[in-house]
Amino acid sequence: MSRLGDTLQAARHDGQALLMAYLCAGDPTVEESAKALCAAHAAGADIVEIGWPFSDPVADGPVIQAASQRALGHTGRAEVLEVVRRVRHASEVPIALLGYCNPLLRHGLEPTIRELAAAGVDALVVADLAFEESAPWRDACNRAGVSLIPFVAPTTQGPRLKAIAAAADSFVYAVALLGVTGQRAEQSASILPVVENLRRHSEAPVLAGFGIGDGEQAAIWRARGLDGVIVGSALVAALAAGGTEAVQDKVRSIRSGLDKLG
């Protein structure tokens, strides 16, 4: 986890906000998605998040659902790994892989995580994995040197929150709202009491995701004390509308919003 750990530590030391940029592997092609992820890093993303396309992405809104559908016809396990390898070959940027349980389990949990690690994945985000069922996944990730990223939501509380805090070995993904991914005009503050409580039990950085799509919204979360933001749908839409250049422009805008407040 040295790439990810070093990035998180450097951001904390420098007082810099973190930006994790999501794009779906294979959308529109393996080559173009890898190129766009590298461009996002060059434009200011500290971590890139590669989505494994899935036919039933229950946590995702229409923008990322459409990206998955575009990719599914030509993107499977081998192609996802190829996107990871291309990004890793081009850069030492930390890579998170976002997937759902079914595709990840299809060829066996241990072999799949070992393959991801060998290709260059530093962290795994499993959108439909309940924390109570995550122990085997965490064990397999630990053996492979991959961080399994836990989620907190506005409804997370009590002993469950303490257990999630104890399990966080890199950063925590704070789901900023109840619902699916996709940019929102309003930025709900309902996750903030959960983040405050979480920080009583863990020093792990907390990144807010879901609903964030521009620099002004990113700045809101930085002002609220979050360590950074995760942006997906806005970048997927930018790639579909304007290609890699549009992704770079969007990332620069979000980076600028974060950097206004340090």
Confidence (pLDDT) at 177: 77
Indicate if the pLDDT at residue 182 is higher than 60: no
Q: Is residue 66 part of a domain?
A: yes
Report the mean per-residue pLDDT for the chain: 94
Confidence (pLDDT) at 179: 67
Q: Is residue 98 part of a domain?
A: yes
Q: Is residue 6 part of a domain?
A: yes
Count of domains forming the chain: 1
Q: Is residue 164 part of a domain?
A: no
The DSSP letter of residue 123 is E
Indicate if the pLDDT at residue 164 is higher than 70: yes
Q: Which of 6, 14, 32, 60 is catalytic?
A: 60
Question: Crossing angle of helices 215-223/233-259, nearest 10°?
Answer: 60
Indicate if the pLDDT at residue 68 is higher than 60: yes
pLDDT category at 211 given cuts 50, 70, 90 is: confident
d(CA 210, CA 226) in angstroms, rounded, equals: 14
Q: Which tens digit of pLDDT belongs to each residue from 123-155? A: 999 999 999 999 999 999 999 999 999 999 999
Indicate if the pLDDT at residue 197 is higher than 60: yes
Q: Which of 27, 31, 32, 49 is catalytic?
A: 49
Q: Is residue 217 part of a domain?
A: yes
Confidence (pLDDT) at 95: 98
Question: What residues have CB less than 8 Å from 252, skipping those under 6 apart?
Answer: 43, 44
- CATH number of the structural domain spanning residue 114: 3.20.20.70
d(CA 52, CA 67) in angstroms, rounded, equals: 10
Q: Is residue 176 part of a domain?
A: no
Q: Is residue 187 part of a domain?
A: no
Domain that holds residue 234: 2-148+210-259
Give yes or no: 82 in active site. Answer: no
Q: Is residue 169 part of a domain?
A: no
